[in-house]
């Protein structure tokens, strides 16, 4: 196998993939080995620009995929450190999904969710009673 490099691929299916790849010359029929391929979507808004990253293949747990050369329209090496850093940060995140199946953000302890509504109500009632008695 040749050396690995970061690459953006446009497939005949229309998909655009970003991945760490290597090319394997398999008896004159080259194949592309993709490592952790993702789809990067650039989102522009009034606030600024963001990049949404999702796995290329949602269901299989595999990290490596093989594509034949005839399924690729074009490919280009990516040397932009910013894009590579975003990709690596995505791969290094323990919980890559902050959204549930419906696209809503999951509640985490970082968001301040520390008790149930019932517990919070009791605490607030006790605080109010203590203030009233003082």
**pLDDT digits 0-9 by tens, 63-102:** 899 999 899 999 999 999 989 998 998 888 755 456 565 5
Of 3-12, 32-41, 88-97, the range with the lowest mean pLDDT is 88-97
pLDDT of residue 24: 86
Does the pTM of the predicted model rise above 0.75? no
Q: What's the CATH fold of domain 5-101?
A: SH3 type barrels. (2.30.30)
DSSP H helices in 93-134: 117-133
- Return the number of other C-beta atoms located less than 10 Å from residue 98's C-beta: 10
- Distance separating alpha carbons of residues 55 and 36, to the nearest angstrom: 8
Task: For residue 30, give every residue at least 6 positions away whose Cβ sits within 8 Å of its Cβ, in sequence order, or none.
Answer: 23, 24, 69
Q: How many CA atoms lie within 13 A of 86 on its CB side?
A: 16
pLDDT band, very low/low/confident/very high, at 26 (cuts 50, 70, 90): confident
pLDDT of residue 22: 92
User: Are the CB atoms for 75 and 56 separated by under 8 Å?
Assistant: no
**pLDDT higher than 60, residue 9:** yes
In the predicted model, what is the mean pLDDT of the chain?
Answer: 84
Euclidean distance between the first and final Cα of the chain, in Å?
77
CA-closest candidate to residue 78, choices 4, 6, 2: 6
Q: How far is CA 7 from CA 27, 54, 79, in A?
A: 23, 16, 8
- Distance separating alpha carbons of residues 35 and 26, to the nearest angstrom: 18
- Distance separating alpha carbons of residues 69 and 74, to the nearest angstrom: 10
pLDDT band, very low/low/confident/very high, at 103 (cuts 50, 70, 90): low
pLDDT of residue 1: 53
């Amino acid at each position: 196998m040749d050396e690995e490099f970061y690459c953006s691929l446009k497939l005949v299916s229309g998909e655009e993939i970003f991945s760490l790849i290597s090319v394997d010359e398999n008896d004159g029929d080259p194949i592309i080995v993709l490592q952790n391929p993702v789809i990067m979507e650039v989102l522009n808004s009034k606030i600024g620009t963001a990049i949404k990253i999702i796995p290329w293949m949602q269901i299989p747990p595999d990290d490596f995929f093989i594509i034949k050369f005839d399924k690729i329209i074009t490919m280009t090496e990516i040397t932009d450190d910013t894009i590579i850093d975003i990709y690596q940060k995505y791969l290094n995140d323990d919980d890559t999904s902050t959204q549930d199946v419906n696209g809503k953000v999951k509640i985490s302890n970082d968001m301040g969710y520390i008790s149930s509504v019932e517990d919070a109500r009791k605490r607030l009632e006790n605080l109010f009673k203590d203030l009233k008695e003082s």
